[in-house]
Structure 1
């Protein structure tokens, strides 16, 4: 078995959440891989069977569905980067459009027939292969991609990729971190795209009263912010959070979403004046208007809170149990 993945990247926060009954693209770019520290796959145990103490030792601090007793540190890569494997057909069950990995490792090595990993490509699932850590031997290969600094990253097309339509997931993750950083205080979001994205939900979760904390945007290429809480990007290659100067509390945001908030015109470029010449008709339809207001993912919000120790505080546990 061989793979073509040579460059390690940070684990995408999209991994834990999806859009139900929709075919998803590969989670990772071609030629890259990431390591998932959490257990994955069967057998599964309920929260009650594990107990709060064991769950906390795994980094989960509130009831969050069934817990896996599968292997930790599985290596994730794009399905197209796999070589020399074959499907174990009796383990290739799925929901409706592909394989969902419910039966455990479903890929075997062509050379030795031993199970080596799990391919997942069903609807409602990110397309990904999870390799068992004991099945992997690192061989010499091409050098890994160099880590881009922030100016290079923002000046390239690396952040404007095909997971943008799933931005409700990183928005839900960011929302959870904002609520924890606020420590129960209401949050006033500085006017702009961040207020449009998070403001209404924050107002519902943390109703207005005295002692509100200001939430702003900070990061590479932006000036200083007088806000007490600042949304900052997480580097997609290293997973390191950009550090603001001053005493503001940094709130991590997935880099593509942060770039959209920092430079909204970069995502959709529209003419500022004028229109089509007289007599010229459009030959493409206008983009459809959304049927409902965009909202951060509630599932991603709760799943993130469950993995933050602060969720054990009574005020935050109440928000977690209530959801939105």
Structure 2
């Protein structure tokens, strides 16, 4: 089993957990509440952030030549973290033995804890060990500080790794709409990340999208960013993955394994564009429920809508962050898209 504890006193801080891939929506801020967003992970799991996080922060203009690239940034940001790597994300209910320390809680949050710096301490020795987040518009989370926590035991956790076939059967994906009728924030994050990879795979060229559901998610934003499909040869975006035939397009939306982070392989010259499993699975296999027990057909306009009525808006902050970490953003066409978007970081809709 995998268990984390205090680096100072070895007190246990978590229940047994299984490692999963860090989801793209782990640090998401979406809307302005009221209340926080659901945790990015399932109970009994953890994910590790491989990137620097927290203080110290450096202004972009203060960085020396090549320093930003060494930290994985290829387009300007206001500031970037040069803090420790390896912070561990957990569902709040899986953390025991750590308590919120009022002396560590800052005053920058709105309705809860925003987690800028460690605000939880080990209940045994009192050393700061984690950041608790539950402010409005933020995902509920606890991030263990890698400087003061460590893995006490490393072994199989409560969730065994599934193969692709098992994923199709056991993890059916997440619908794009919420009960309120709006788009699910996870979809906004997943599509934003895929959109950044799609632009780099296509070089910013217009893209044909034959699948109507895929087109409904990506077409409006692509048209605003690069323009509609022009006459002449076209690049085509298709779905590829387990249970689907070999892709017959130029660019393929492929699933990311939610536990291992593995990408579904496609053979060149097809260019892969990773998409979070829960969104990919729904696009690839979701079928509208068929009415039963009726002899009179139901007209299409009377069936439940499969996608929200209002236009989809990918998460602008995640889009820009992912794009800035792809070396291709240094190409003039993609850099221009990035620069146009920076003033509107909360929504790609404004680009």
Q: Is the 8 A contact 1:5 1:30 kept in 2?
A: no
Asked if the contact 1:214–1:228 (Cα under 8 Å) also holds between the matched residues in 2, the reply is yes
Tell me if structure 2 keeps the 8 A contact 1:5–1:33.
no
Picking from 203, 206, 221, the partner of 2:243 is 221
CA spacing shift, 1:200–1:161, aligned 2, 3 Å: closer
The offset of 1:275, in angstroms, is 9.2
Cα distance change, pair 130–224 in 1 and its aligned pair in 2 (3 A): same
Match 1:188 to one of 199, 203, 208: 208
1:28-39 matched pairs, under 5 angstroms:
28-39=41-52
**TM-score, normalising length: structure 1:** 0.87
Other-structure match for 1:153: 167
Question: Match for residue 60 of structure 1?
Answer: 73
SS at 2:291's partner residue?
Answer: coil
Moved more, 85-94 or 299-308: 85-94
Q: Distance in 1 between matches of 2:94 and 2:253?
A: 34
Q: 1:305 aligns with which of 307, 310, 323?
A: 323
Q: What are the ranges of 5 or more consecutive residues in structure 2 without an aligned counterpart?
A: 1-11, 297-303, 342-350
Structure 1's unaligned 5+ residue stretches are 277-285
Q: Is 2:93 the partner of 1:75?
A: no
Query: 1:2 aligns to what SS in structure 2?
Result: coil
Question: Does residue 143 of structure 1 match 2:156?
Answer: yes
Q: Secondary structure at the match of 2:245?
A: coil
The answer on whether the counterparts of 1:86 and 1:109 sit within 8 Å (CA) in structure 2 is yes
- Post-superposition Cα deviations, 1:60-109, rounded to whole Å, max 9, x if no partner, equal 1112332223321111111111111121212223522211112x111111
User: 1:1-324 to 2 correspondence within 5 Å?
Assistant: 1-22=12-33, 23-51=36-64, 53-93=66-106, 94-102=108-116, 104-140=117-153, 143-144=156-157, 145-157=159-171, 159-160=173-174, 165-166=184-185, 167-207=187-227, 208-209=229-230, 210-245=232-267, 247-265=269-287, 269=289, 271=291, 274=294, 290=308, 292-323=310-341, 324=351
**In structure 2, do the counterparts of structure 1 residues 32 and 288 end up closer, same or farther at CA, with 3 Å as the change threshold?**
closer
- Relative to 1, partners in 2 of residues 1:196 and 1:288: Cα closer, same or farther, differing over 3 Å? closer
Aligned-pair Cα RMSD in Å: 2.6
Name whichever of 143-152 and 47-56 sits farther off.
47-56
TM-score (norm 2): 0.81
